[in-house]
Amino acid sequence: MEKANKLALNNGFEYREQIDNRGNGLTVLAYLTRNHRHSSGNDWQGRLEAGQISVNDQPVASGAILKTGQLLLWRRPPWHEPDAPLDYSILHEDEDLLAVAKPCGLPTLPAGGFLEHTLLALVRKTHPEASPLHRLGRGTSGIVLFARTARARSDICAAWRRKEVSKIYRGLATGCPAEDNFIVEAQIGPVPHPKLGTVYAASPDGKFASSRVSVLERRDGASLLEIGIETGRPHQIRIHLAFAGHPLVGDRLYAAGGIINDPETLPGDTGYLLHAERLSFTHPATGLPFEIQCPPPPELALDGSKSIP
């Protein structure tokens, strides 16, 4: 088990982005307020006045007009990050790959105020070469696979594009599906969100996504499910189960139909039970079938008296 102590204050970070046609002609303040709604206009104005924002490495005023191709930089000073469980366990390690068990509540990658309280930051303390091959939502526990070599990253990413990587999850959903085995194929894409601008949800304008669902147990008002996903859209399992009328227990973001339930809830909020249990693929070094398993938490363990025969 790898562990780290809580950090009182991180080291700050530089956020960089290049202005595209959507930002051309906007003022710096208007661009930041429109595209980064996690902060108010007053917050961005204060950062501009403090000299934290620059364009092409030059300090900039709030009324400066942006042009396509310019580099916008926010030098964010050190801040107190939200609490998170700062530990993980190693499931497999070889010269090419590293597989770890991420706990619920720990973000995989930096976002939403998390920088050093992330799985990536913790893993790179001991494996600086590690590059994540996928991600899990903050509230999802289980397997995260890292590449340790360029060859491994290239081979696994290619296998993912060819749909040759099997990903099996376990989750606790509300209600009892009518069938023990079913497929959900709802399109997933960005929809409006008052705080973030957009979030992913079921959308007729979204991209194709497919999930295979099997009922493992029927519990009082809930069902323990096994879910295999052939595509990897953001929040796919949460959205698809909600679309099928069985949102994950404790998921406040998605309602039946796969739509946004509570506009005050963020995708990174926890409370639901979802676990990445098995990952199967061809090992890039041996060329042989390879499987990694991660035991589910007690809440998602099988109870033989309620299992589906």
Q: What is the pLDDT of residues 176-224, one digit of tens each?
A: 999 999 999 999 999 988 878 889 999 999 999 999 999 999 998 999 9
Q: What is the pLDDT of residue 112?
A: 81
Grade residue 37 by pLDDT with cuts at 50, 70 and 90: confident
pLDDT one-digit tens code per residue, 214-230: 999 999 899 999 999 98
Mean pLDDT of the chain: 92
pLDDT one-digit tens code per residue, 85-95: 999 999 999 99
What does the block give as tokens for 61? 């005023």
Return the higher-pLDDT residue of 105 and 1: 105
- Single-letter amino acid, residue 73: L
Return phi, psi of residue 228, to 5°: -110, 135
- Domains of the chain listed by start with CATH number: 13-76 (3.10.290.10), 87-306 (3.30.2350.10)
Q: Rounded to whole angstroms, how far apart are CA atoms 86 and 107?
A: 10
Mean pLDDT score, 252-268: 88
Containing 124, the helix (H) or strand (E) segment is helix 119-126
Model confidence at 4: pLDDT above 50: no
Against a cut of 0.75, is the pTM above it? yes
**In degrees, to the nearest 5, what angle opens at C-alpha 210 toward C-alphas 205 and 213?**
135
Mean pLDDT score, 84-111: 96
Q: At a CB cut-off of 8 Å and minimum separation 6, what does 301 contact? A: none
Model confidence at 3: pLDDT above 80: no
Q: What is the pLDDT of residue 8?
A: 65
